Chain A
Amino acid sequence: ETGVTQTPRHLVMGMTNKKSLKCEQHLGHNAMYWYKQSAKKPLELMFVYNFKEQTENNSVPSRFSPECPNSSHLFLHLHTLQPEDSALYLCASAQQTNQPQHFGDGTRLSIL
Chain B
Amino acid sequence: AQSVAQPEDQVNVAEGNPLTVKCTYSVSGNPYLFWYVQYPNRGLQFLLKYITGDNLVKGSYGFEAEFNKSQTSFHLKKPSALVSDSALYFCAVRDSGGYQKVTFGTGTKLQVIP
Contact = CB atoms under 8 A, between A and B. Distances in A.
Interface stretch (B14-22, B69-77, B78-86, B96-104): B96-104
Contacts of B89: none
A76 interface: no
Contacts, number: 47
A42 interface: yes
A105 B105 contact: no
B44 A103 contact: yes
Interface string A90-112: 10100001101111111000000
Contacts of A104: 43
Contacts of B107: 42-43
B27 to A, nearest CB: 13
Interface string B8-30: 00000000000000000000000
Interface of A: 2, 4, 6, 40-43, 45, 48, 55-56, 58, 90, 92, 97-98, 100-106
